[in-house]
Amino acid sequence: MERKFPHLCKPITIGRVTFRNRMFSAPMGGTDITNDGCIGPKSTAFYELRAKGGAGAVTISECMVHPKTDGSHAYHLDTAILNSLASFAYTADAIRRHGAIPSVELSHSGMYSGTYMTDKSRQHGLAQWGPSACVRPDGVEVGELSHEMIDEIVAAYGQVAGLAKRAGFEMIMVHGGHGWLINQFLSPWFNHRTDEYGGSIQNRCRFARRVLQSVREAVGPGFPIEFRMSGSELFEGGYTLEDGIAIAQELEDCIDLLHVSAGTYQRGFGDTHPSMFKEHGCNFYLAAEIKKHVSIPVATIGGLNDPAQMEEIIKSGKADVVYMARALLADPFLPEKVMANRDEEIVRCLRCFTCMAERAATATRRCTVNPLIGREMEGDYVLPAPEKKKVLVAGGGPGGLYAAWTAARRGHQVILCEKEDSLGGILRSEQALPFKYEMYQLAGTYAHLARKAGVEIRLNTEVTAEYVEREAPDALIIAVGSRPLLPPIPGLKGD
């Protein structure tokens, strides 16, 4: 088959491992993390869905390597914890059996230990350690890591990497970006040490080098080690792109893949996770520039979801791999659709942040455009219906279209009626707003999928009681849309 996006679909070998394409699933934290840091079954199913969807690699996030100095409620991989190794092994198996390469992100929050706790007040009771002593903006005191503690953390990275390999993971990602501990050492904003770990870029890279060397000793030659870094911290006082190039050059001999992200959570969340107000791929210039100065493969990330844009990034040599996170929540099967030249079926991420808001508030995952997210263990809910019915759907907005598509996939005879002359409902108004255009596109995608599934669409057709009686459906789905909510602001209706 002649592929529409040949460079994006081309396999790549990193270390001694070959990946089936250049579309990788970026680290995304799980939700049913047990109290002792094991991967719960819902999270295993969450990661497995990315593998089913055709991603070249799927990365588990985040495994905190040293709980004694990082009490974040995240994954821990420790043989002293019952079922810890087993939970990682089952997850690696779940990813690998679909042809994707399982990877795990090793991390340490440093001075931001406890960030992932739903009960934020508990952070204040944790020990907070960083490269330098300080007081965080929220009033939490941070202690300076001693040489003995640094040695212990470095060793922990190797120990956990070795266990991850033993569990069946085939790549290790060391998280050195976004304001976590390794980034704190790299950054002049966080790192004010005067010993061999502070000052020059070479000194600030020393901790990262030691960590990477510890991981290499544990996993051996040929096993892919990926280093995730911020190409620039993107704020005054942080390191620049020029510094990012120097950091990459300082560390490239220790790694097999350089993953270039951007910014820090603490001082630029909107840079690290571009919102709908930013251009897709707004950060890939960092990877493109750094790639000119290193000899190893480079990955990029940042609001990417358009196969044509990603193909151009790979084809033009700006990066060797593209990572997606939110895009694979909206449509886990995006890579498979790209590989099969079915890109018109891709459900685009709206970059609305529902996924992140839910995790922070309820420790679950949800997606505005994909109801399967967070419910992966319920299995394939679109099963053949035991009894085929005639279904009438009133309303051609996103809700009606999705309901019609689902009913048709179950084998029902589905008729969708829309009283206007076009589909999309309230989302039609979004075509005039560039940053919301993907909301307008969403209705078109749903309509395409509904038609492909066999839904009969009737425009300029209002569903009345008499119409329902005439059609005599077995089931009626009323999806006539919402009404705008006007906030109770005094004077809102005045001049």
**Rounded Cα gap, residues 87 and 102, in angstroms:** 13
- The answer to whether 66 and 153 have CB atoms below 8 angstroms apart is yes
pLDDT of residue 118: 65
CA dihedral (457, 460, 462, 463) in degrees, to 10, reads -10
Low-confidence ranges of the chain (pLDDT < 50): none
**Rounded Cα gap, residues 305 and 192, in angstroms:** 39
Nearest to 44 by CA among 107, 96, 114: 96
Q: Is the dihedral of CA 312, 317, 320, 326 positive or negative?
A: negative
The interaxial angle of helices 84-96 and 41-52, nearest 10 deg, is 20
Which DSSP string do the residues of 16-74 spell out, in sequence order? TEEESSSEEEEEEE-S---TTSPPPHHHHHHHHHHHHTT-SEEEEEEEES-TTT---SS
Nearest to 58 by CA among 224, 164, 169: 169
| The two three-digit tokens of residue 342, written as one number | 């079915």
**Rounded Cα gap, residues 123 and 127, in angstroms:** 8
Type and span of the H or E element at 173: strand 171-176
- The answer to whether 311 and 300 have CB atoms below 8 angstroms apart is no
pLDDT of residue 176: 98
Type and span of the H or E element at 267: helix 265-272
412 bridge partner residues: none
Residue 99: C-alpha distances to residues 33, 58, 164, 219 (Å): 25, 10, 18, 22
Nearest to 286 by CA among 271, 270, 275: 271
**Rounded Cα gap, residues 78 and 22, in angstroms:** 32
Question: In sequence order, which residues have a C-beta less than 8 Å from that of residue 489 and are 6 or more positions away?
Answer: none
CA 269 to centroid of chain Cα atoms:
14
**Rounded Cα gap, residues 441 and 330, in angstroms:** 13
pLDDT of residue 270: 87
> pTM for this one?
0.94
Residue 370: C-alpha distances to residues 59, 199, 238, 332, 357 (Å): 20, 47, 37, 9, 15
Nearest to 367 by CA among 22, 40, 50, 38: 50
Which DSSP string do the residues of 149-166 spell out, in sequence order? HHHHHHHHHHHHHHHHHH
Number of H helices, E strands in the chain: 17, 17
Model confidence over 81-115: pLDDT tens digits?
A: 999 999 999 999 999 999 999 999 999 999 998 77
Nearest to 229 by CA among 184, 196, 197: 184
Specify the residue for token string 């009345």. Answer: 464
Question: In sequence order, which residues have a C-beta less than 8 Å from that of residue 300 and are 6 or more positions away?
Answer: 260, 281, 283, 284, 286, 287, 288, 313, 318, 319, 321, 322, 323
Beta strands 17-19 and 298-300, pairing class? unpaired
Write the Ramachandran bin of 292: left for phi over 0, alpha for psi from -120 to 50, otherwise beta: alpha
pLDDT of residue 40: 95
Which DSSP string do the residues of 427-481 spell out, in sequence order? GGGGGG-GGGHHHHHHHHHHHHHHHHTT-EEESS----HHHHHHH--SEEEE---
Report all structural domains of the chain as residue ranges with CATH numbers, in order of start. Answer: 6-377 (3.20.20.70), 384-478 (3.40.50.720)
Classified as helix, coil or strand, 417 is strand
DSSP-derived letter for residue 252 is G
Nearest to 373 by CA among 322, 444, 325, 410: 325
- Length of the chain, in residues: 495
Nearest to 6 by CA among 217, 296, 311: 311
Strand positions, DSSP E, 242-317: 257-261, 298-300
Beta strands 390-394 and 475-478, pairing class? parallel
| The two three-digit tokens of residue 376, written as one number | 């992966």
pLDDT of residue 277: 92
Residue 425: C-alpha distances to residues 70, 151, 348, 407, 485 (Å): 48, 59, 18, 19, 16
